[in-house]
Structure 1
Amino acid sequence: MSTYVLVPGAGSDSAHWNRVRPLLEARGHEVITPDLPAADPEAGLGAYVDTIVEAIGDRSGVILVAQSMAGLSAPVAATRADVALLVLVAAMIPAPGETGGQWWAATGQPEAQRAADLAAGRDPDAPFDPVVTFLHDLPPDVLDEVLAAPPIDQSDRPFADPWPLAAWPDVPTRVLVCRDDRLFPLAFQRRVTRERLGITPDEMEGGHLPALAHPGALVEWLERYREST
């Protein structure tokens, strides 16, 4: 049995993992899904890291999975807890001293998203629609459930803090990207992963939220990583 610690992205909570958790538990694993202080306007990046570290506690050899924005906090938490494996899923990959707010321009994300939208025939200047950007590949019943849930207002506060590490932590790291991610397009993710970590990411089906759209496929990748560590 292993312990998986699953960290959600911006504007999400532990419910993000509701389709993944039972699949991992059915395989005999312990699954921890901490709720981050997303709506707290006073909670900076350090508070997110503290929450993850506290959730891990004194467990050893955990598998820490970071979705999207959690790419900012999970690597820092990995330096303060006994983490055997860090898995980034459609995640931001920060650079030393860079804030989460600076990450977008520094990586070229706006230009990459605009180019991908144009290539796919989407209007890059259309008003933001979460269904178009994030939820386009969810099964209808899951989409209805997500849209019916009360929204979580993500505070901008953690995006203002410089990433505090001098280098990527000395922890085995895997990067899993999604071929139809409309926020972080595939070519963009490949480039940033190579530039910042020097590795080639693995690729799976779906958009930005595979835990909701393709939980079975995501679990297969996580288990593959666990078995190869």
Structure 2
Amino acid sequence: MTTFGLVPGAGGSAWYWSRVVPLLEQRGHTAIAVDLPATDDSAGFDEYADVVAAAIGERDDLVLVGQSMGGFTVPLVCDRIPVARLVLVNAMIPTPGESGGEWWTATGQGPAQRELDRREGRDPDAEFDPAVTFLHDVPADVVATGADENQFQSGTPFEKPWPRPAWPDVPTRVIASRDDRLFPVDFQVRVARERLGITPEIVPGGHLVALSYPAELAAAIQSDRGDDR
């Protein structure tokens, strides 16, 4: 069966995947959720990729899944261990030489989020509230369970340019959540088409879809549907 390597985004907590792992294992797959050194100011995306490769090791039929900021990490892992397929979930998709910090302006994320906020009746100038942006569709008991799992995210990865000369020659799928308030779905569709030539598969849920709609995400991760690059 397939091994799924599950890479989180900012904060680097493997707990993000806690509701998806058992669903993949029930289907006979191996699921490895990786903790990243998010609090380490000496660690950038290369170091994150080293940690992922070490945690997973060389596996047959490895599908590497990157969420949010994990979109910068998972392509680098392909230079370290064999990867059969990449799956991006509400992910930042980098271009060569672009830092994590530059990505926001280069893609137009800010205006896209502001427009969505206006369209849905939220104040685009309101102070950031994770409950509004990230947790709006996550069940309260799940939020409570993960209260101690939130980690500080070092700014180091956002400062260093993405080191790959191009996207790896690995089949890639993109999954976008319909109700993502940080990366609006139409924004994700545009960026994926512009940068990878891929039209994302749309699933229900917000930015933290693995916590809010784990069954739907697990099914999408295992599916062969969607455009491949």
> Shorter-chain-normalised TM-score: which range?
over 0.9
Residue identity matched to 1:64? L
Structure 2 equivalent of residue 66 of structure 1 = 66
Q: Displacement, 1:201?
A: 0.7
What's the counterpart of residue 94 of structure 1? 94
Question: What residue number does 2:208 align with?
Answer: 209
Give the corresponding residue for 2:186.
Answer: 187
Gaps of 5+ in 1: none
TM-score relative to the length of structure 1 = 0.95
Q: Is the 8 A contact 1:89 1:177 kept in 2?
A: yes
- Tell me the number of residue pairs that the alignment of Structure 1 and Structure 2 aligns: 227
Kept in 2, the 8 Å contact 1:5–1:33? The answer is yes
Q: Report if aligned partners of 1:176, 1:204 keep a CA contact under 8 Å in 2.
A: yes
Is residue 118 of structure 1 aligned with residue 118 of structure 2? Answer: yes
DSSP-derived class of the 1:87 partner = strand
The separation in 1 between residues aligned to 2:201 and 2:4, in whole angstroms, is: 19
Match of 2:218 in 1: 219
Q: Deviations over 1:151-198 (max 9, x none)?
A: 310000011111111111000000000010000001110110010001
Correspondences of 1:121-132 after superposition (within 5 Å): 121-132=121-132
Tell me, in whole angstroms, the C-alpha distance in 1 between the residues paired with 2:177 and 2:19.
Answer: 17
Provide the rounded CA distance (Å) in 2 between the counterparts of 1:79 and 1:196.
Answer: 20
CA distance in 1, matches of 2:40, 2:70: 16
- Please give the per-residue CA displacement for 1:30-81, whole angstroms capped at 9, x wherever unaligned: 1111110001111111110101111221223201000000000101112321
| Alignment check: 8 A CA contact 1:41 1:155 kept | yes
Q: Which amino acid in structure 1 is aligned with residue 73 of structure 2?
A: S
Structure 2 stretches lacking a partner, 5+ long: none
Q: What amino acid is the match of 1:4?
A: F
Alignment deviations for residues 80-100 of structure 1 (CA, whole Å, 9 cap, x no partner): 211111000000000011001
**Per-residue deviation, 1:150:** 4.8
Query: Contact (CA 8 Å) 2:12, 2:37: kept in 1 or not?
Result: no
**Percent of aligned pairs with the same amino acid:** 56
Which residue is 2:177 aligned to?
178
- Whether the 8 Å contact between 2:13 and 2:149 is mirrored in structure 1 is no
Q: Normalising by structure 2, what TM-score?
A: 0.95
* Residue identity in the other structure for 1:92: M
SS in 1 for 2:205: coil
